[in-house]
Structure 1
């Protein structure tokens, strides 16, 4: 669990808002703290930033949440007619899908992270996720044939991207794209970009546990973040002061599926098609929220030993792992 410590309290306009800076004055308007919260992408988004005026804060926050809604409309596999669902409908047909700039960008980032993690993070895991959603609703365990069918439709290497015209081809039948392990981190990064367009750099967004962190608050070294890397008797808490980075935690503490005495994580392995049974609590700090979100899932899938090998190949990444079943802990920083 990640939480920010003691921080949250619940286009002509742009020109007017910017006037609050009073460019003809030698005095700079003091920065004030603003906090907003809204539900999006199935989670609560908490946004905190510093701005010189109420009017600028309002237009900036409205624009930030409008961006989140746009991303959800494009990338959610829960929404009929979303762009990602329209792409998935072309799987195995040989049809070339011409993607928006946003969809193509997140697909490029996803493929790169899949390659870096040996497929432990795989944006084509949709068929497995869909299978387990049905199984959990109906309280049954998928049989071997269902698991094989789902696994056979997964494979990031079978996503063909052509940058010249932003076209995408899904080579395997029944492939489905699922941004559940990267979408909120990507949205958090995008929000910071929106705020920067308004001249707001001192900002923090908690996107349901996926954090994107900008410049430090005024007269502070960074944002104080409490990272809990365990649960129950294994809780390990760290207070960190961070800026200009992304943070994400992944684990099965709150979301899991119990079947015949075995607890299966909501995190499914692209390798086996089954929810994880070795429950690794993972926290990742890296350059941005997109990478942190995807890597937290990947390291949960890989476990401690394999995660260390992957982390060594990455730059600017810090990882805490706790395998709760075996009470094994690890901390890597590269």
Structure 2
């Protein structure tokens, strides 16, 4: 075989290799990561979910599942919804012992640990005090000192007990009520991330008005970037 023909064959093989590479790259490019960002107003704030996955159907379903879980937490723990599980507990006869859902139990357990770790600074039993100051803001009238002191006597973790064997909460005092505004949103973000992962999406970010959870990497393959506004 002449050198010319050999060169022609080499050129043909080289072109075929390039064609194969081009086709393979085309196949992989058809499976490039898709990024979705969805925002909804839940729990009194803007909740944003950003996630990426090569299958947009998987991505969409996972984001829907995450928002569904956040709505479930809101329906359980909102003090603004009269029929929420928490609102019904606050209106229940006291003293008394009542079963709670798994989600509410998880948050109450965490709240109890936070109460201990902060020496009582983080206290979800401040609902009566919360209500008094909310009324003061609405009426532009300061509450009496004696009224505040009376309310403070009924506040504190000592006024409730958690029974882990039956997942029940026991209200020891008549006036004890709970507000979860300082913890429920963070828990909702946690379960939203769990829902995304359970539905096949590992690379995601959930932001609920500043309560943020980052999982995996950002769409550019680098770590997620978050920041604190100054001021």
TM-score range, shorter chain: 0.7 to 0.9
**Structure whose alpha-carbon radius of gyration is higher:** 2
User: Match for residue 303 of structure 1?
Assistant: none
User: Match for residue 42 of structure 2?
Assistant: 40
* C-alpha contact (below 8 Å) 2:205/2:212 kept by paired residues: yes
Alignment of 1:157-176 (within 5 A): 157-176=158-177
User: Match for residue 153 of structure 2?
Assistant: 152
81 and 194 in structure 1: CA distance in 2 versus 1, 3 angstrom threshold: same
Structure 1 distance, partners of 2:32, 2:165, is 46
Structure 1 distance, partners of 2:222, 2:117, is 32
Alignment of 1:87-98 (within 5 A): 87-90=89-92, 93-98=94-99
Give the number of aligned pairs: 204
Please report the RMSD computed on the Cα atoms of aligned residues, expressed in angstroms.
Answer: 1.8
Which structure is higher in RCO with an 8 Å CA cutoff and minimum separation 6?
Answer: 2
**Cα distance, 1:219 vs. partner?**
5.2
Which shows bigger deviation, 66-75 or 212-221? 212-221
Structure 2 distance, partners of 1:109, 1:64, is 21
Residue 27 of structure 2 corresponds to residue 30 of structure 1: no
Structure 2 unaligned regions, length at least 5: 1-26
User: Match for residue 106 of structure 1?
Assistant: 107
**Cα distance, 1:221 vs. partner?**
3.8
What are the superposed Cα offsets for residues 74-107 of structure 1, whole Å, 9 maximum, x if unpaired?
A: 100111121111212236x232101111111100
Alignment of 1:211-222 (within 5 A): 211-218=212-219, 220-222=221-223
* C-alpha contact (below 8 Å) 2:124/2:180 kept by paired residues: yes
39 and 101 in structure 1: CA distance in 2 versus 1, 3 angstrom threshold: same
TM-score normalised according to structure 1 size: 0.58
* C-alpha contact (below 8 Å) 1:46/1:207 kept by paired residues: yes
Structure 1 unaligned regions, length at least 5: 1-25, 232-334
User: Match for residue 20 of structure 2?
Assistant: none
User: Match for residue 319 of structure 1?
Assistant: none
Structure 2 distance, partners of 1:55, 1:149, is 56
What are the superposed Cα offsets for residues 90-129 of structure 1, whole Å, 9 maximum, x if unpaired?
A: 36x2321011111111000110011101111111111111
Structure 2 distance, partners of 1:149, 1:194, is 43
TM-score normalised according to structure 2 size: 0.83
User: Match for residue 84 of structure 1?
Assistant: 86
* C-alpha contact (below 8 Å) 1:184/1:210 kept by paired residues: yes
**Cα distance, 1:158 vs. partner?**
2.3
Structure 1 distance, partners of 2:193, 2:61, is 14
